[in-house]
Structure 1
Amino acid sequence: MENMSTELEDLVKLNLYDLLQVSCTAGNKEIQSAYRKKALSCHPDKNPDNPEAVKLFQQLSKALEILTDGPARTAYDKVLKAKKAHELRNAELDSKRRKLKKDLETREKAAREEEFGSVDPAKTLQEEIERLRKEGSKLLEEEQELLRKHMQKKEAVFSEEEKRKRLKIKWKAEKADPLNGGYTYEFLHKVFNKYGEVSCLIISSKKNGSGLVEFLLPTAAQLAYENESGLSSNPIQLSWIPSNQGSNERFQQESYVSPKDSETVKAEGVLTSKDYESIVLMKLRQSEERKQIIEEMMKNQDTI
């Protein structure tokens, strides 16, 4: 194996079976399942700024490619077997016999040729890897496409759940009414917080009787939508905000004031609809929620 390429040396040192955490007798289905489980956690789309994760994903892909191809796996197993035999013999050498290592390597080469034939198994593996590179691995492409679709599906579910967290609020209030129909930020926050944690509450600063509320959980928003009517003397009307783009056309023309997010209020004391979208999107992309998605994907990977 003295003529190994750098890539081949790395593959043998790595031990593809250990990388996937499967036995050397594992079948293709077990290998594919192990690949999916590991590849989901280090997929480049989930780790764009982590070169180590990208490197691991590439190693996993190479492991899947070689170990699910019959000729390539056979060649790899022979190289691995020869390596282990070499390590075992070296471990048995004492200090005096190490001086005869060169002679031992010569005998080892002869023994290898007797067991595997005159063709170096490392060379055979190199040829199989080149063949796979030229032909392309259909199985690897299919697995990676499944991973992409799986993540896209999870992202779609995530986005749909986020839509169910935000409600538009309307109530009767005269334009010049300083009490805004009896609804203040503090009062509305107390009203909605009984259904679940309120992550964002915004009251229009240009039009009395109008606002937006976002809950931490969709279930809290659903409860509020179904049960809350506000003051009996001046009921509120709740409606869903249809998309992640923020509010409807009317709200896109307005500004908002939110004491809870006062650090983002501009010098004149109002938030534009663009500022509101930034606040919402920031909350949607919190790292903890991302971790929950990845954990769920890991639990369900066998159902792909």
Structure 2
Amino acid sequence: MDVDHYNVLGLPSGEEGAKLTEKEIAKGYKLKALVLHPDKRPDDPNAHENFQKLKLSYEVLKDEKARKLFDDLLRAKREQRARRGQQDAKRRRMVSDLEERERAASAVDPAAGGKRRVEKIDKELRAQVDKIRAMFANKGVPVVKKETVGVKESRFEEDEKKILNVRWEKVDSEGYSAERLRELFSKFGEVKDVVIRSNKEKKKRGQALVEMATEEAAVAALGNVYGNLSNPLLVLPYGKKVAATTIPTRESDGLNIFSGINHQAYEDNILEKLQKAAENQRQKA
């Protein structure tokens, strides 16, 4: 079993992964599903297959028996690697052939025992995963389905409307924590979750997803959450495109965040305007 189901969901693996709660696993799946859902990747021929793999990994980690077997398999592999690393070639050469033969005759090879354990757990895990696959084949995978025209929007699309994409320039003295973002957005309604997203390509930029309890709260927060003047926030709806009538304007500060397509150039332009506006406010003060 070469697939690391924790990594598929974007979660830490190993001992750290074994300590994750069901809620944390569900949260990781939800964030990955927002990115890998086939409706979000119409030009990707592997989108459906990748989404099914994501769903399978989630179901494996949800299944108590399968997850325990998978954690045992990862632990056994780590122990096997540790034993190999602890072997001291120099000391083995100093041991006589007679002592080596006596040791082999009187004791079970720990490396062989470790290998058998890995193979046994791997076999049991494969059987459990096959069982889950068979269950999917019989009743269908309960993933978010694409509705036909005129039919009520899917739950996936409804949830997406409650999520806000938040950006800011990372400043050492003016950064934003999940607690600070929750405080800012809670003025417009209940905040269900705040996830600070890592951005390896642009280390100077901060990103977060803020999930409001209702669509109305998300709309109310658009254009009305600015954060600190020294490091203002750019708040956009989640998704590839932003409707031109979605985000209110802020004319009183000389800013118009009337939005078209949410491309990187657009975000850079808006953040630059926010930074200039903040500088003007400080100069006036």
Same fold (TM over 0.5): no
Task: Select the structure of larger CA radius of gyration.
Answer: 1
* TM-score normalised according to structure 2 size: 0.41
